[in-house]
């Protein structure tokens, strides 16, 4: 048994197909199949239910695959630790970020990060919160920029900034006459929201409940840009994070008077990772990079 065999098993657990798993592992399908069979012989257990189209893990196989994934994570951490001893601010860094932040935050923070950490190769992954949390748990990414808090308790984190929500309304809306708006002004109003899976949807729903507003039925957007276009078309209004408030002649953004609705953005990483000194410095750099209006 070796690390390669464990990688093959984990790939089969993910893809449930010998061909796709072999392609992901950069090996021939017969080679991967042979090594999995050897692993089964070594363990004395059937790990895979083989069919014409799929490779399904047996109950024992699922348990072994989870253990294999944990072992591979520890191996990765071992190599990362060895590298960090030589230089903690060097090497590849895979960072996840949620879609309601990525297009608006990354152009602002990446140039100073690249300049501050010239020996770090940043790889960015844009996904929804649940996907990024799973990737972080399984060491497929090193860190993630998420809206706080999250339920996972085995991560370390650092607060980066606070971002207030503004009310986005069509230019002809009556609210545009006001410089600010009170949360009570939304009592009984309908708001356009993002679709299921976006953490911003859950935050907006919580704010709607607090403001006694409701969701506009019959429409859920897949992105903030879709929400913006719907507001511009006069379909309704929505809550828009400040970083996403692009200037347009068809949408007005109205700030709330105190208490301002807002979300807290943080950097998460696996507790105990050898890259922790790097994450601490990255968090410091990001806090200093954000404008004063975003400081917590």
Could you tell me the pTM of the whole model? 0.73
Q: List the end-to-end C-alpha distance of the chain, in Å, as a whole number.
A: 51
284 closest CA partner among 82, 94, 147, 117: 117
Domains of the chain (ranges, CATH numbers): 3-83 (1.10.10.10), 91-296 (3.40.190.290)
CA–CA separation, 250 and 234 (whole Å):
9
227 closest CA partner among 38, 37, 100, 108: 100
Query: CA 98, 99, 103, 109: dihedral to nearest 10 degrees?
Result: 0
Residue 154: φ, ψ to 5°? -100, 15
Q: What is the DSSP letter of 295?
A: -
pLDDT digit string (tens) for the chain, length 296 residues: 889 999 999 999 999 889 899 999 999 999 999 999 999 999 999 999 887 678 889 999 999 999 998 898 888 878 777 766 666 678 889 999 999 999 999 999 999 999 999 999 999 999 999 999 999 998 889 999 999 989 877 899 999 999 999 999 999 999 999 899 998 898 999 999 988 878 888 888 888 888 888 888 878 888 999 999 999 999 999 999 999 998 888 999 999 999 899 999 999 999 988 889 999 999 999 999 887 667 65
CB 157, CB 268: distance < 8 Å: yes
């Amino acid at each position: 048994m070796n690390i390669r065999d464990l990688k093959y098993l984990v790939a089969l657990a993910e893809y449930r197909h010998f061909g796709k798993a072999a392609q992901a592992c950069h090996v021939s399908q017969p080679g991967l199949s042979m090594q999995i069979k050897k692993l089964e012989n070594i363990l004395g257990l059937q790990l895979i239910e083989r069919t014409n189209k799929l490779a399904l893990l047996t109950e024992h196989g699922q348990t072994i695959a989870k253990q294999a994934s944990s072992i591979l994570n520890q191996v990765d951490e071992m190599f990362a630790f060895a590298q960090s001893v030589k230089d903690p601010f060097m090497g590849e860094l895979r960072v996840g970020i949620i879609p309601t932040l990525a297009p608006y935050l990354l152009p602002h923070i990446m140039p100073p990060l690249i300049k501050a950490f010239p020996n770090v190769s940043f790889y960015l992954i844009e996904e929804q919160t649940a996907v990024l949390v799973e990737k972080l748990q399984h060491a497929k990414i090193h860190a993630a920029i998420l809206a706080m808090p999250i339920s996972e308790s085995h991560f370390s984190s650092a607060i980066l900034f606070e971002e207030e929500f503004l009310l986005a309304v069509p230019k002809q809306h009556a609210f545009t006459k006001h410089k600010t708006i009170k949360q009570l002004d939304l009592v009984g109003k309908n708001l356009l929201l993002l679709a299921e899976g976006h953490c911003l949807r859950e935050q907006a729903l919580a704010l709607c409940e607090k403001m006694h507003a409701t969701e506009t039925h019959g429409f859920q957007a897949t992105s903030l840009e879709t929400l913006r276009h719907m507001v511009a078309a006069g379909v309704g209004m929505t809550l828009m994070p400040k970083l996403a408030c692009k200037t347009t002649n068809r949408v007005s953004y109205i700030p709330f008077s105190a208490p301002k609705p807002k979300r807290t953005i943080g950097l998460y990483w696996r507790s105990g990772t050898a890259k922790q000194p790097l994450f601490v410095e990255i968090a410091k750099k990001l806090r200093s990079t954000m404008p004063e209006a975003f400081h917590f």
